[in-house]
Structure 1
Amino acid sequence: MNSPVEAPYKSFVSIDRQSTTAVYLQIANQLINAIQRGFLQAGTRLPGTRSFSELLQVHRNTIVAVYEELDAQGWVETRPNKGTFIIGKIDARPQKIRAATETQLVQYPKVTGFSFRKSSLLDNPFEHAACDYIFNDGTPDIRLTQVAQLSSLYTANLKRKSNHKKLGYYNQDGSEFFKRNLSNYLNLSRGLHISNDNILITRSTEMSVYITAEILLSKDDIVLVGALSYFSVNMIFQKSGARIMPVPIDEEGIDVEAVRRICERHTIRMLYITPHHHYPTTVTLSAQRRLQLLELAAVYGFIILEDDYDYDFHYDKTPVLPLASADKNGMVVYIGAFGKSLAPGFRTGFIVAPEDLMGEMRKHLGIIDRQGDILMEQVLGEMIEEGVIHRYLKKSLKVYQERRDHFVAQLEEHLGDYMTFRKPAGGLAVWTQWKQPVNLLSLAKECAKNDLFIPKTLLYQHKDLTAMRLGFGHLTTKEAQESIAILKHSLLTQL
């Protein structure tokens, strides 16, 4: 049995007097760590409270509290007239207690002791940089959000006694109040004909796609996507085991005749489409092609997964209604985001589909997000009911339209000789195509040297295409002007 004086306790215990954790808990936790990692072995007698307090330069009562904590957690036992001993199976040949370095005590294992599946498909495609200026793929400017008003709405709901009981709910079906208001909002703004039973509330568009893929796709199912499509959604489809088949995109959106030809040769399970503003090219699917797609889906039995990711952002004319508004055969699953003009924490995703599919989707949502956010949904429901969301959107649309017009004018003035583009009727990004081949990766690196970050996910380049999707919504007119100036300067450096 080891003597308590042999153990190098100072190598096990380091006390931080500035920490909010009580000193006795710091000591107890570090001793437990030393026991777990084998530096203090079973059967070791700990020092007496007086000598240990002198060694660690703490009050004796602190050590008493340490031993009481160790005893309460089942690490030690106190034997009358003998002392306090570490509990456990005693080695017949006890080893000398080793001193421990700080790294040995606090380092977490770098690798697992077991095997597991790894997926290169799900590698994070998003990049970050510390540049002052950044292009993105078209996200709102959170600086336009009235954070104080949003906070007051949330705080008011949190204080409301009638909401207190809701805080403990596990409600995978979501707030009926919010769903009722959201269904009314979608019916009025997007020509739908739905009720609460047709809506599932999710955290994001990606969660909506994930749940849909989990239920509707099986290994080797064929999913049609645009030849240029949203990379995150493609990752989800591939993770489900589906086979992705690209379809050409032109000035009217996805090539419906190409879809027809593929259907004649293959059994298609799903078509993923962003018809309002195709991602990434921003073109709108024509009304005629929308009807043709619905007819093809009815004939060949494939699902149309319609992603209306930026329906709220339109400037020049009334937006084209979604395919889901004209679906008579239950072939469309409609997904979108609500509150994109709000701060990120106040946004939510949704799925619209026939009731039988909704029942299955709620089962899956109950597994991955059983708690939900019932209080936030209450706030969002009130924002719809009281017209707050309409006022937010109206204000932000005016700003985004001004930014779009200025951004396009700057592109024309400074880069019109090098690229072609079209002023988008909606959305928060411009699709640009270079008139002559440019090494976009090298251009992005040169821009980064000049304090402008362009993520790889915005770059589209192969032998027949050199293009970029440039978001303008998050940039003030001054920031946009300076960003485009850096882009031009970096381009001229490369030429």
Structure 2
Amino acid sequence: MLPYATLLHLDKKGATPLYVQLSEQLGQLIRAGTLSAGQRLPGTRLLANQLAINRQTVVAAYDDLLAQGWLDSRTGSGTFVADHMPTVTPLSFNELERTRPKATPVQVEQPGYAFETRTYLTRPALGSPAGLRFDDGLPDARLAPLDELSRAYRSYFRWGNPQAHFGYNDTKGNSLLREQLSAHLNETRGLRTTSANILITRGSIMGIHLTSQVLLRPGDVVVTGETTWTGATMNARQAGAQLLTVPVDVHGLNVDALADLCARQPIRMVYVTPHHHYPTTVTMRADRRIRLLQLAEHYRFAILEDDYDYDFHYLGRPILPLASADPQGMVVYVGSLTKSVAPAFRVGYVVGPTALIDEMARLRRIIDRQGDPALEFAIGQLFQSGEMKRHFRKAIRTYEARRDHLCRLLTSELYDQIQFTKPDGGLAIWATFNQDIDLEAIAERTGRAGLYLSSGLVHNLPGQLLNSTRMGFASSTEAELEQAVVLLKSLM
């Protein structure tokens, strides 16, 4: 008879039911060879007495192992380890002690097989910091039309055919949202789309991923600005592409440098954020936009235009996207509503030629069968009712006032330590700290004091220290911005 009271350790105060603990630990003893194939287990009453537990707990554990095929029950003889179990060399006493189930299970950290760790995927995930913050440029969820969205969301559950509402839906996204979004993009951005040109995604990052997977093959060359969004570069690398960069100045991507690259080697795709370049917020000049489209048509490369915060522009009418002046279908236009409503609502979109959208929808099906039909329907309702337009107007006025207020505060309080240019749009300013200021140390110090400030290290060029960071203003009230600047000044 094995010393079951020693081999088994049940936590009677733990959250896991005792019969589950007993079943799992007996299974471990079988897999370790301590209990061999065909070996008879003690009767339920005897084992219950040894472990000082209820007999029904042992019965439930045995039943569980019988159902899984680990045990066999032989009428009149008892319960045995199944005969089909492979022969395992029993562990020595010392090995048995090391592997004996502990009261607190140890989490397995490394698998028993090899896999590749992709270092380019190791980047800090963008969060929504609590308290005072200069974030990456996030919207203020307090301004989002949550009551209206909630009513529209509930209507999805009350109206229509439940079989249609709660079954599988179109992989391209909810038809109402695609129709409304097509009309919105045509009106505000000068696009010429129908719903067939639009694929709804879970944020712009999914649109960039699908574009990269469909268009890129290992060895293809992708060009970005020297400063750019790592979410895009990670997707390009994941597709096996080679990354090249060109300078970005106060007028956006340097298209002359891009032309030189095109003359020397084939380019498959160029990734740009022309409206508010990420992270520096500069707007690409009109002549450069025209030149970029000409280069794409001549050299036959795709342009991936990420227009992540087009709706928030404060200096008159914003410059129209590249996609609005693209008769040849060279531009894949990606956008997001997460900046318009709140990051938790994962709704983005890809706009492109119908053949490309169809292929992306086929790929999306094996990644994420469909989006969130109820949420997409609700946001489509807000577009249809005009609520989204009202929200945009309100948010633009509020964010412009906050931008101006932060710029005044930085100018008056930190004029000799921080340089910046007031952005024409977007939700953050690009701030450069004096070179004698250790921005990383400042970020650590402000974090301990309750103020989030990015160190900006993720934006550094290879071998260079920009000493710059994005200081988001949209998610904070004017009073909160004042408190944040006062605290930052005191810590600097």
Question: TM-score scaled to structure 1, two decimals?
Answer: 0.89
The reply to whether residue 75 of structure 1 matches residue 70 of structure 2 is yes
Partner of 2:324: 325
CA displacement at 1:17 relative to structure 2: 5.8
Mapping of residues 297-312 of structure 1, within 5 Å: 297-312=296-311
The aligned amino acid for 1:283 is V
CA displacement at 1:453 relative to structure 2: 3.1
The reply to whether residue 144 of structure 1 matches residue 139 of structure 2 is no
Which among 4, 9, 14 is matched to residue 10 of structure 2? 14
The aligned amino acid for 1:136 is D
Do 2:305 and 2:332's aligned partners in 1 also have CA atoms closer than 8 Å?
yes
Q: Deviations over 1:373-406 (max 9, x none)?
A: 2222222221211222222222322221221111
Q: Deviations over 1:68-112 (max 9, x none)?
A: 332222221122332111114475987799566443983343322
CA displacement at 1:290 relative to structure 2: 1.7
- Structure 1 range deviating more: 335-344 or 304-313: 335-344
Do 1:317 and 1:425's aligned partners in 2 also have CA atoms closer than 8 Å?
no
Give, in whole Å, the separation in 2 of the partners of 1:196 and 1:382.
15
Partner of 1:60: 55
Q: 1:52 to 1:415 in 2, by over 3 A?
A: same
Give, in whole Å, the separation in 1 of the partners of 2:129 and 2:309.
27
CA displacement at 1:329 relative to structure 2: 0.9
The reply to whether residue 177 of structure 1 matches residue 176 of structure 2 is yes
The aligned amino acid for 2:67 is A
The reply to whether residue 199 of structure 1 matches residue 198 of structure 2 is yes
Partner of 2:431: 432
Give, in whole Å, the separation in 1 of the partners of 2:382 and 2:129.
35
The aligned amino acid for 1:359 is D
CA displacement at 1:240 relative to structure 2: 2.3
Structure 1 alignment gaps of length 5 or more: none
Do 1:238 and 1:244's aligned partners in 2 also have CA atoms closer than 8 Å?
yes
Partner of 1:475: 476
Do 2:213 and 2:239's aligned partners in 1 also have CA atoms closer than 8 Å?
yes
Give, in whole Å, the separation in 2 of the partners of 1:91 and 1:466.
63
SS at match of 1:399: helix
Q: Deviations over 1:392-433 (max 9, x none)?
A: 222322221221111111111111122322221211000123
Give, in whole Å, the separation in 2 of the partners of 1:129 and 1:176.
31
- Structure 1 range deviating more: 128-137 or 273-282: 128-137
The reply to whether residue 28 of structure 1 matches residue 29 of structure 2 is no
Structure 1 segments of 4 or more deviating over 6 A?
92-97, 127-131
SS at match of 1:469: strand
SS at match of 2:193: coil
Give, in whole Å, the separation in 2 of the partners of 1:275 and 1:387.
28
Give, in whole Å, the separation in 1 of the partners of 2:409 and 2:117.
45
Partner of 2:271: 272
Give, in whole Å, the separation in 2 of the partners of 1:395 and 1:347.
21
CA displacement at 1:151 relative to structure 2: 3.3
SS at match of 1:305: strand
Give, in whole Å, the separation in 1 of the partners of 2:92 and 2:469.
65
Give, in whole Å, the separation in 1 of the partners of 2:457 and 2:406.
17
Partner of 1:400: 399
Question: TM-score scaled to structure 2, two decimals?
Answer: 0.89
Q: Deviations over 1:156-206 (max 9, x none)?
A: 323445244432316423222221121112111211111121111111212
Do 2:279 and 2:459's aligned partners in 1 also have CA atoms closer than 8 Å?
no
CA-based RMSD: 2.9
Give, in whole Å, the separation in 2 of the partners of 1:74 and 1:139.
53
Do 1:440 and 1:459's aligned partners in 2 also have CA atoms closer than 8 Å?
no
Q: 1:40 to 1:147 in 2, by over 3 A?
A: farther
Give, in whole Å, the separation in 2 of the partners of 1:458 and 1:214.
28
Do 1:13 and 1:31's aligned partners in 2 also have CA atoms closer than 8 Å?
no
Q: 1:94 to 1:320 in 2, by over 3 A?
A: closer
Mapping of residues 359-398 of structure 1, within 5 Å: 359-398=358-397
The reply to whether residue 447 of structure 1 matches residue 450 of structure 2 is no
Give, in whole Å, the separation in 1 of the partners of 2:275 and 2:456.
21
CA displacement at 1:301 relative to structure 2: 1.7
Give, in whole Å, the separation in 2 of the partners of 1:272 and 1:297.
12
The aligned amino acid for 1:32 is G
SS at match of 1:78: strand
CA displacement at 1:273 relative to structure 2: 0.9
Give, in whole Å, the separation in 2 of the partners of 1:382 and 1:448.
40
Do 1:311 and 1:427's aligned partners in 2 also have CA atoms closer than 8 Å?
yes
Partner of 1:49: 44
Structure 2 alignment gaps of length 5 or more: none
Q: 1:92 to 1:141 in 2, by over 3 A?
A: closer
Give, in whole Å, the separation in 2 of the partners of 1:442 and 1:94.
55
The number of residue pairs the alignment matches comes to 486
Do 1:137 and 1:458's aligned partners in 2 also have CA atoms closer than 8 Å?
no
The aligned amino acid for 2:316 is K
The reply to whether residue 122 of structure 1 matches residue 118 of structure 2 is no
Q: 1:102 to 1:482 in 2, by over 3 A?
A: farther
Do 1:127 and 1:455's aligned partners in 2 also have CA atoms closer than 8 Å?
no
Give, in whole Å, the separation in 1 of the partners of 2:129 and 2:255.
43
Give, in whole Å, the separation in 1 of the partners of 2:433 and 2:87.
74
Q: 1:42 to 1:134 in 2, by over 3 A?
A: farther
Give, in whole Å, the separation in 1 of the partners of 2:88 and 2:424.
80
